[in-house]
Amino acid sequence: MKDLTNSDIDRQNILNNRYALTQIQEYIGLPGMLFEGEFRFTKEMVANFFEIDTSTIDRYLAKHEAELKHNGYVLTKGKQLTNFKLQFAHLIDKASKTRQLGLFNFRALLNLSMLLSESEKARHLRSKILDIVIHSINEKTGGGTKYINRRDEDYLINAIREHKYRKDFTNSLNQYVDLGNYKYSLYTDKIYQAIFRENAKEYKQILKLADNENARDTMYAEVLKLIASFEAGIAYEIEKKSKALGRKLLPIEVDQIVKDFTDHPAQLPHIEDARIKMASRDNFFRDAFHHKLKEYVTSVRPADFDKFIGDRSVDFEKQLKEAEDVFKRLKESE
């Protein structure tokens, strides 16, 4: 089980998952003060809920101020505080003397619960939070996340496009590279290693794929797009050099083409983006850790939750059906 008190990335992943937050908020059911569109809680209310002293909260605010503010903790003062007092002065001790007031929203309260080590209530809540998060994802994905990548509305079009460039790439290897059939898996692995530092075997081990499962079926749309870019670009360079020399290329010459293509400055932002997305999403959604990409692991963006388990996610069978209709119309129009 993940230790939320020690991982800011794991905490932020939960706080960015608005679908799980809704379920957690219903589970806790803590009444707050509705102000400016969301429920607010004073330090005293939070301290009472977690059965701790307000001084303990002050220590956590001092140590984790940036994180808690990022997730909704605010110091109200001036006109905002005046408006708050008009509504809730009867709930605030010494309200008339208060010149600034710290308020938690639900996200910030939940954030604090994932930091508190002194509160038994917070420890119990952390365990329940993890259960709810897992349930919220399984509920959307039918109990498994191996193919969660396919719920992206952009997945199928990128998979189809990548398949086309894959054929161009293997045709180029076949015609212009002087090596046996080994070259297909060899240069596929070299592309994988260039993009995410793992060969096909390592990738399948991390995702616990069977030998007969296709690694690319589990890859995110952005990763497939980058692989397609590599395949198209390297195929072009292989053909160009082979024709210029008037012969098939040796493996050492193809290796140099792959290296030059990988090292080109135009590729670096795309490689970095693919590494961040793959490492971060797999770490959270699949509980799969890519050790060679550990420095690229960040929290999953709120938009990714919409993409894979939320309003923008699309069942893969539905995508196939829609694509089938498109293909049929294209055929009829020929």
Phi-psi category of 51—alpha, beta or left, where left has phi over 0 and alpha has psi -120 to 50?
left
Taking CA atoms, 300 is separated from 5, 14, 21, 56, in Å, by 18, 9, 15, 29
Q: Which residues contact 144 (CB under 8 A, 6 or more apart)?
A: 138
Rounded to the nearest 10°, the torsion over CA 255, 258, 264, 266 is 180
Query: What's the pTM?
Result: 0.85
Confidence band, pLDDT 50/70/90 cuts, at residue 330: very low
Token couple for 330: 């294209």
Q: Which of 145, 155, 159, 137 is nearest to 288 (CA)?
A: 145
Confidence band, pLDDT 50/70/90 cuts, at residue 96: low
Q: Which residues contact 150 (CB under 8 A, 6 or more apart)?
A: 156, 217, 316, 319
Q: What is the DSSP letter of 301?
A: P
User: How many whole angstroms separate alpha carbon 199 and alpha carbon 223?
Assistant: 14
Q: Which of 319, 329, 314, 324 is nearest to 148 (CA)?
A: 314
Segment 2-14, tens digit of pLDDT = 789 999 999 999 9
Segment 306-325, tens digit of pLDDT = 999 988 888 877 777 766 66
